[in-house]
Amino acid sequence: MKKKVLFVCTHNSARSQMAEGYMNARYGDRYEAFSAGTVPGTLNPYAVRAMAEIGIDISGHRSKDLGEFDEQEMDLLVAVCEGGICPFFPWAKEEIHQEFPDPSNLAGTDEEIMEGVRRIRDEITGWIDATFGGN
């Protein structure tokens, strides 16, 4: 049976979306990944582009409120938000807090923002590979 993993960040627009897409594409044989936000926003188009560059289509994703997962048991909750307050989610058997920079804070030209999102994507995918790849 697949383990259920819920990735959470504030807006569910980039970090948790990229993590969900990567986990399902790379480790979907062993894990079923979901994502949500504490204050859902809109899907970040830079995140969609960055994932497409590595062959993963998240364009059909939407930002979801953490409340949509109330009472759904998860094997693991992964909070990918920076600093501060982590969400309360009593239905997770285990929690990990792994910070990644927020792509919505990036500024500059289109290409500079894209470079930043690529760096964050690579941090997230590298962490997922290191954490879940050997299991």
The CATH number linked to 86 is 3.40.50.2300
Residue 54 has a pLDDT of: 98
Residue 81 has a pLDDT of: 81
Q: Kindly name the residue from 5, 9, 18, 36 that is annotated as catalytic.
A: 9
Active site residue 86: yes
Report how many domains make up the chain.
1
E strand or H helix that includes residue 131: helix 110-132
Give Dmax over CA atoms of the chain in angstroms: 45
Active site residue 36: no
Digit-coded pLDDT (tens) for 35-90: 999 889 999 999 999 999 999 999 999 999 999 999 999 999 999 987 655 666 78
Helices (H) and strands (E) in the chain, counts: 3, 4
- Are 36 and 64 in contact by the 8 Å Cβ rule? The answer is yes
Segment among 38-42, 60-64, 118-122, 124-128 with least mean pLDDT: 38-42
Residue 82 has a pLDDT of: 75
**How far is residue 102's CA from residue 18's CA, in Å, rounded to a whole number?**
12
- Are 67 and 39 in contact by the 8 Å Cβ rule? The answer is no
Digit-coded pLDDT (tens) for 1-27: 999 999 999 899 999 999 999 999 999
Percent with pLDDT over 70 in the chain = 95
Domain of residue 51: give its range: 3-132
Active site residue 9: yes
